Amino acid sequence: MHGKVWTKVIKCKAAVLWGPKQPLSIEDIEVAPPKAFEVRIKILAAGICRTDDHVITGALSTNFPVILGHEATGIVESIGEGVTTVKPGDKVIPLSIPQCRKCSSCINPNGNFCLAMNVADDGVLSDSTGRFTCKGKPVYRFARNSTFTEYTVTSELLVAKIDAAAPPEKVCLIGCGFATGYGAAINTAKVTPGSVCAVFGLGGVGLSIIMGCKASGASRIIGIDTNPCKFERAKSVGATECINPKDHAKPISEVLKEITGDSVEFTFEAIGHPETIIDALASCHESHGTSVVVGVPPLSKMIAYDPMLLFTGRTWKGCCFGGWKTKDDIPKLVSDFMAKKFDFDQLITHVLPFNKIHEAFDLLNKGESIRTVLIF
Ligand code: PAD
Ligand code: ZN
Ligand code: ZN
């Protein structure tokens, strides 16, 4: 099966977004063979993350037409020249952040923002061309990834080989939402045992933050969401109580001060709104609190804040993909899942075939799903 197949273009189905605010369109596309140091992957399962929706709504800009999706599991179908870390048949998670092991980010033990690829992903591979075409037009990739397609091509630096026995329809969440939230608590905030935490936004990322706070031994974890339907799941993964901002006239930072006696040490924003990013900062303890920005705000939005919020001693941090060193840490997170250190029973609310991708986005936008996993 693998022989010389790798030299051929593959024709397959993909969900193409031709422009912002348009419906996703299932199209026949061509996927070029991997070039040197690239890998072509057959996608098995892909989760839907709010970041994908940000592109559909126009809140996040990218080149069009584009294939979205960045939270998946797949099998290596073929490899280009020079690839040594994966081979055809390996089960993998495609990554949005590379790990080159050489740059100043990779050699430092803190942080994970590998400089091997520019932050502004312009939707092409390192030779400045893409590997997808549809109706004769080049189609860009998204988040250095693109997984709403039966096949994708990516750099070897953006592929993590995982346990062959891992269930693809579950561990795909380690490709974004789970790893992002769990790592924000464990790696970025470094939540301490007995601490008080507050999590703004109880979607897939927020629930994973709660799981990370709980695993770190936090004694009180307060979930905040304007949709009270999210509270039950938040409690079942570890929230000790939940607050709906709509029930309060004052900012949540003031509500938290009152109910905790001013003891919130760690706060997290997993919504992506400038106002909640600032209120989450104001919510952590003024002398020793830490607030982590996880939500992705619209690109054009700048944030104004009172410097006194930091002057008193607060720490304000951000993280991309939970701070994990991707190629090294993602296989370990999959092993932890296999060892039952955590499960995704509360995170995966729906499983649908790939051709029901529109239904999956409707469920997200109606606030009914946490994560929908598409099966190919
Ligand atoms: P989601 O839409 O499933 O969850 C967001 C939650 O926030 C929902 O439950 C909403 O009801 C709630 N919400 C909305 N507005 C408010 C408000 N004003 N106050 C309180 N709650 C509110 O999204 P998600 O969990 O998939 O992603 C959350 C954010 O994280 C989103 O901005 C996404 O783009 C970002 C993200 N960041 C990274 C990263 O690496 N930094 C990775 C993945 C996702
Ligand atoms: Zn994501
Ligand atoms: Zn690097």
Q: Does residue 50 sit within a domain?
A: yes
Name the closest ligand to CA 320. 1
- Domains held by the chain: number: 2
For the CA of 205, the closest atom of ligand 1 is 25
For the CA of 319, the closest atom of ligand 1 is 41
> The CATH number of the domain where 369 resides is what?
3.90.180.10
State the residue for tokens 């490709």.
175
Residues whose CB is less than 8 angstroms from the CB of residue 299 and which lie 6 or more positions away in sequence, other chains included: 59, 60, 61
Same domain, 62 and 193: no
Q: What is the pLDDT of residues 4-52, one digit of tens each?
A: 444 699 999 999 999 999 999 999 999 999 999 999 999 999 999 999 9
Same domain, 150 and 266: no
Q: Is pLDDT of 119 > 70?
A: no
Q: Report the separation in Å between the CA atom of 294 and the middle of ligand 1, taken as the mean of its atom positions.
A: 8
Q: What is the pLDDT of residues 189-208, one digit of tens each?
A: 999 999 999 999 999 999 99
Cβ of 256 closer than 6 Å to ligand 1, yes or no, is no
> Among 271, 273, 301, 346, which is best to mutate for testing ligand 1, by the most ligand atoms less than 8 A from CB?
271
Cβ of 372 closer than 6 Å to ligand 1, yes or no, is no
Same domain, 15 and 108: yes
Residue 367 neighbours by CB distance under 10 Å: 13
> The CATH number of the domain where 190 resides is what?
3.40.50.720
**Nearest in space to 71 (alpha carbons), one of 35, 44, 111, 91:** 44
Which pLDDT does position 4 carry in this prediction? 46
Q: Does residue 339 sit within a domain?
A: no
Which pLDDT does position 169 carry in this prediction? 98
Helix axes 252-260, 274-283, angle to 10 degrees: 20
Q: Report the separation in Å between the CA atom of 347 and the middle of ligand 2, taken as the mean of its atom positions.
A: 14
Same domain, 186 and 165: no
Same domain, 203 and 303: yes
> Among 296, 366, 369, which is best to mutate for testing ligand 1, by the most ligand atoms less than 8 A from CB?
296
- Structural domain that includes position 192: 181-320
Q: Does residue 143 sit within a domain?
A: yes
Rounded to the nearest integer, the mean pLDDT of the chain is 94
Q: Does residue 369 sit within a domain?
A: yes
Q: Cβ distance 36 to 157 under 8 Å? A: no
Cβ of 224 closer than 6 Å to ligand 1, yes or no, is yes
- C-alpha–C-alpha distance, residues 246 and 218, integer Å: 26
Per-position b or e across 234-252, b if 16+ CB within 10 A of its CB: bbebbbbebbebeeeeebb
Same domain, 351 and 314: no
Same domain, 99 and 147: yes
Tell which of 320, 335, 360 closes a domain: 320
Residues whose CB is less than 8 angstroms from the CB of residue 184 and which lie 6 or more positions away in sequence, other chains included: 205, 209, 212, 268, 270, 292, 294, 319, 322, 323
Same domain, 91 and 202: no
Instruction: State the average pLDDT over residues 225-243.
Output: 98
Q: Does residue 220 sit within a domain?
A: yes
Same domain, 238 and 294: yes
Tell which of 305, 320, 335 closes a domain: 320
Instruction: State the average pLDDT over residues 237-266.
Output: 97
Instruction: State the average pLDDT over residues 331-345.
Output: 98
Q: Is pLDDT of 371 > 60?
A: yes
Strands (E), 169-251: 196-200, 220-224, 241-243
Q: What is the pLDDT of residues 130-182, one digit of tens each?
A: 999 999 999 999 999 999 999 999 999 999 999 999 999 999 999 999 999 99
Q: Does residue 1 sit within a domain?
A: no
Which pLDDT does position 176 carry in this prediction? 97
- E strand or H helix at 44: strand 38-47
Instruction: State the average pLDDT over residues 340-364.
Output: 97
In this predicted model, which residue has the larger pLDDT, 299 or 203?
203
For the CA of 96, the closest atom of ligand 1 is 40
Q: Cβ distance 174 to 150 under 8 Å? A: no
In this predicted model, which residue has the larger pLDDT, 122 or 53?
53
Same domain, 154 and 230: no
Q: Does residue 3 sit within a domain?
A: no
How much of the chain, in percent, has pLDDT values that exceed 90? 90
Cβ of 295 closer than 6 Å to ligand 1, yes or no, is yes
Cβ of 200 closer than 6 Å to ligand 1, yes or no, is yes
Same domain, 171 and 188: no
Q: Does residue 363 sit within a domain?
A: yes
DSSP SS3 for 15: strand
Cβ of 180 closer than 6 Å to ligand 1, yes or no, is yes
Q: Report the separation in Å between the CA atom of 51 and the middle of ligand 1, taken as the mean of its atom positions.
A: 8
Which pLDDT does position 302 carry in this prediction? 86
Same domain, 165 and 258: no
